[in-house]
Amino acid sequence: MHTTTPTSPRGTMTNALSRLRSGALGGLVAGALALAALPSAVEAQVRMTVPPQAEPIALTGATIHTVTNGTIENGTIVFENGVITAVGADVAIPAGARVVDYSGKHIYPGLIDAYSTVGIAEIGAVGVSNDTNELGDFNPNVKAAIAVNAESRHIGTSRSAGVLTTLTTPGGGLISGMSSAMALEGWDWEEMTLDQAAALNVNWPNPDPRRPWWAGPDFEVPSYTAEVEKLKDFFANARAYKAAMEAGEELPTDSRYAAMMPVLNREIPVVVAANGAAQINDAITWATEENVRLVIRGGRDAIHVADRLIANDVPVILTSTMAAPDRDYEGYDGAYSMPAELHEAGVTFAISGGSGALYTNRLGYEAGVAVAFGLPEEEALKAVTINAAEFMGLSDRLGSLEPGKQATLLVTTGTPLDMTSDIEQAYIQGRELDMMDIQKWFFEKYMAKVMQLRRMIM
């Protein structure tokens, strides 16, 4: 085995910046040369894809937060071929392993965003950079993974904040399509994909539809009952298609109904976007009648139907804890304290970053706000790791640090739920990531400029 000490993954720009600060790199010309290489880095998304793990790696000396099996002080975690082989305080390190001493640091599982658009949404104001919505009401055959842009800048900023896995999710219509579980490392969407079809997404109709501000006098406001019936009819047609296929009848292939088979077989969940108590109640009734696995996403009024959620074993994905109240009579801390209230009531939940690609990198802070408003920290950590993994059928691979699971983990200075902690290094399936991202790049670029100006003034 050979031992190394952690080195900065930020590359030559960090070294150049350090020399600027120390005065070892003098003059404006040298500073300009240090910046000259930066545009090519931006074109390459300011991070380099790294190859699969090539040698056993042992991380030693850190406090290891396993999530499911407690905390290990001065622990060691060993992984090989992208899979954890040992975790503990007294672990045998295999011959030939590269040993990295992380004394004084913490190791956590990579965070999982259960509702994200990373990879399929880039710049909100530039329509061609967004591929979240398809036309039509029923698109169960849409799989988000195929549209994922592996060069998205949001990938780097999400990883720097500790998010290593996303459930990238399409939108639009009554049935939007399939969330895809994506590891945030790889050359292309195929290499990044953990599961193309992890969950079906349904947008539950609004019980109180309003005429849009842009609608003309001839615009017909959709009826809540009619919209729910459309959803039921589609599921009925999918069941008829399934029955005909199982009976051996010759049918023209319908990709929409074929995509419904894992849902009807209860192999994957149906994630229903619903916020109001009436919506959640109706969704539970519908899912019970359809005999499908249900997860509620949004859940603004989940606490008001907690007993029914528990009775029907329905978990909730809270889409934001850092949200202002929607209604005049709600307290300012309604969203902040919702996780603590659900935990006390016994509802199982995950916390997401708020769906937008711009917000996945605040996932840890969403959970941190919940801690500040009463949620135990260990429960908040579960809400962004193992709970999300269990909802989406990924818990055999992700969500905790256990032998046999993927080596997808973080090395930090403290809890990733606190914005004062730094994510110093991350590994996805054993790959030691390049931790540079566009925000760090801009920081270093303009810090170099500040140092140049200081030299001119001095």
The string of pLDDT tens digits covering residues 124-142 is 888 888 888 888 999 999 9
Whose tokens are 């009848």? That residue is 249
Q: Is the dihedral of CA 217, 275, 395, 269 positive or negative?
A: negative
pLDDT tens digit string along 373-422?
Answer: 999 999 999 999 999 999 999 999 999 999 999 999 999 999 999 999 99
Reported as a single tens digit per residue, the pLDDT across 102-118 is: 999 999 999 999 999 99
**Residue 272 near residue 302 (C-beta atoms within 8 A):** no
How far lies 185's CA from each of 151, 306, 434, in Å? Answer: 10, 37, 10
The pLDDT of residue 349 is above 50: yes
Q: What's the pLDDT score for residue 47?
A: 66
| Choice among 9-13, 232-236, 260-264 with the minimum mean pLDDT | 9-13
Pairwise CA distance, residues 79 & 88, whole Å: 12
Pairing verdict, β 316-318 and 294-298:
parallel
Cα–Cα distance, 269 to 72 (Å, whole number): 34
| Spatial CA neighbour of 322 closest among 276, 383, 373 | 373
Report CA dihedral (184, 350, 338, 172) to the nearest 10 degrees.
70
**Are the beta carbons of 35 and 442 closer than 8 angstroms?**
no
Q: Is the pLDDT reported for residue 357 higher than 70?
A: no
pLDDT per residue as tens digits for the range 55-69: 999 999 999 999 999
What is the C-alpha end-to-end distance of the chain, expressed in Å? 49
User: Do the beta carbons of residue 150 and residue 119 sit within 8 Å?
Assistant: yes
Beta strand pairing call for 83-88 and 71-80? antiparallel
pLDDT category of residue 29 using cuts at 50, 70 and 90: very low
- The CA distance from 87 to 179, in Å, is 31
Asked if 171 and 133 count as a contact pair (C-beta separation under 8 A), the reply is yes
The length of the chain in residues reads 458
**3-class DSSP state of 294:** strand
Nearest to 441 by CA among 29, 47, 32, 22: 47
User: What is the domain partition of the chain in residue ranges?
Assistant: 2-46+436-457, 111-398
Q: What is the largest CA-CA distance in the chain?
A: 85
Note the pLDDT of residue 46.
63
111-398: which CATH number, 3.30.70.120, 3.30.70.100, 3.20.20.140, 2.60.120.620? 3.20.20.140
Could you tell me if residue 429 is left (phi over 0), alpha (psi between -120 and 50 degrees) or otherwise beta?
left
For tokens 């619903």, what's the residue?
A: 274
Give the integer Cα–Cα distance in Å for 348 and 338: 12
The pLDDT of residue 165 is above 60: yes
Residue 275 token pair: 């916020």
pLDDT at 20: 41
Q: pLDDT, tens digit, for every residue of 186-218?
A: 999 999 999 999 999 999 998 887 777 777 777
Is residue 35 over pLDDT 80? no
pLDDT 10s digits, 279-327: 999 999 999 999 999 999 999 999 999 999 999 999 999 998 998 888 8
pLDDT band at residue 4 under the 50/70/90 scheme:
low
Express each pLDDT in 260-273 by its tens digit. 999 999 999 999 99
Helix (H, G, I), strand (E, B) or coil at 364: helix
**Cα dist. 212→124, 187, 204, 219, 223 in Å?**
21, 42, 18, 9, 14
- Of the ranges 36-50, 83-97, 404-418, which one carries the lowest mean pLDDT score? 36-50
